[in-house]
Amino acid sequence: MILARLSRAVREQNWFAVALEFVIVIAGVVIGFQVTAWNEVRADRIAEQRYVERLYEDVLTSIADQANTGDAADAQFQTARRMAVIAGRGDLGDINEADFKADLSGLAGWRAVAVTNATLEEMFATGHIGLIQSDEIRSVLTEYRTQYQNAVIANGNVGDLILSHWTLVQNNLEFEWRDDERVIVTPVDEILSNGAIANHLDQLAGLYLQIARIQMRVSEDTNSLRNILLEAYDGIGNAQ
């Protein structure tokens, strides 16, 4: 239609009509590009909002999990410290033998860092971290990701040391299986008079303290990220 009118105007040497048709064509192209750009920006903003909502849900899950792992890590530290004190003084005090052996057996293992990070890792893997408009928020997310990755590594390294010391403690103990449970049968007086066990228990107490501190720092970082997201994005916490 436009081409036919343009051809007719040229044949008739109606230069005003020719110019007008060119203006209409150019305006249509420009508007088309602008609409496409607007749609792309709108799609990016929708994608950003969805990512932020998913991030927030992951953060809430992490906070709940970290409360549990933090309490468990602190309990493990308290137990290890109590065992180290008892071994160091060579006396059970007000703890009975059964509880002492049960607590000693419970020192095997440590708590992993609890971080739900599927959304954040997806954003970095796909490059969609760039959908976050705010330079500050992108920087916060990048720093948080680095911090929890470092925490996972540090936690694992300390855990390896815990396993090493616990293995050395076990080498000085005798065990039996009773009702599908592995129990310590070494007499308590032998355990308390063993300097090697006392030394390893002291080391374990320090290592469990490190685990508890790592858990605490991760929890603080996650709660901080939650507050930053709440402040930066209106209405994100309404689903709580």
Residue 39: the pLDDT is 55
Residue 217 binned pLDDT confidence (cut-offs 50, 70, 90)? very high
Neighbours of 221 (CB within 10 A): 19
Residue 239: the pLDDT is 46
- All residues at 6 or more sequence positions from 85 whose CB lies less than 8 Å from its CB, including other chains: none
Q: How does pLDDT run across 99-133, given as a tens digit for each residue?
A: 999 999 888 788 899 999 999 999 999 999 999 98
Residue 197 binned pLDDT confidence (cut-offs 50, 70, 90)? very high
Residue of higher predicted confidence among 226 and 108: 226
Taking the C-alpha atoms of residue 10 and residue 12, their distance in angstroms, rounded to an integer, is 5
Q: CA quadruple 219, 220, 223, 228: dihedral positive or negative?
A: negative
* Paired tokens of 83: 């065992």
- How far CA 154 is from CA of 29, 113, 120, 169, 211, in Å, comes to 57, 10, 20, 23, 9
Residue 168 confidence (pLDDT) above 90: yes
Residue 112: the pLDDT is 92
Residue 180: the pLDDT is 85
Residue 14: the pLDDT is 52
The SS3 call for residue 182 is strand
Q: How many helices (H) and strands (E) does the chain have?
A: 7, 2
Residue 178: the pLDDT is 86
Residue 157: the pLDDT is 97
- Backbone φ and ψ for 203, nearest 5 degrees, come out as -65, -40
Residue 179: the pLDDT is 87
Going by C-alpha positions, the residue among 62, 204, 232, 78 that lies closest to residue 147 is 62
Residue 186 binned pLDDT confidence (cut-offs 50, 70, 90)? very high
Q: How does pLDDT run across 23-58, given as a tens digit for each residue?
A: 566 756 656 566 565 555 577 688 898 999 999 999
Taking the C-alpha atoms of residue 210 and residue 79, their distance in angstroms, rounded to an integer, is 14
Residue 151: the pLDDT is 97
The SS3 call for residue 96 is coil
The SS3 call for residue 184 is strand
In contact, 145 and 116? CB cutoff 8 Å? no
* Paired tokens of 210: 């490190």
In contact, 175 and 203? CB cutoff 8 Å? no
Q: Which amino acid is located at 178 in the chain?
A: R
Residue 21 binned pLDDT confidence (cut-offs 50, 70, 90)? low
Tokens 């300390």 sit on residue: 158
Residue 6 confidence (pLDDT) above 50: no
Residue 19 binned pLDDT confidence (cut-offs 50, 70, 90)? low
Specify the number of domains making up the chain: 1
Give the single-character DSSP code of 176: E
127 Ramachandran zone, left/alpha/beta (phi>0; psi -120 to 50): left
Which structural domain, as residue segments, surrounds residue 174?
Answer: 2-239
The SS3 call for residue 210 is helix
Which is it for strands 181-184 and 175-178: parallel, antiparallel or unpaired? antiparallel
Residue of higher predicted confidence among 41 and 64: 64
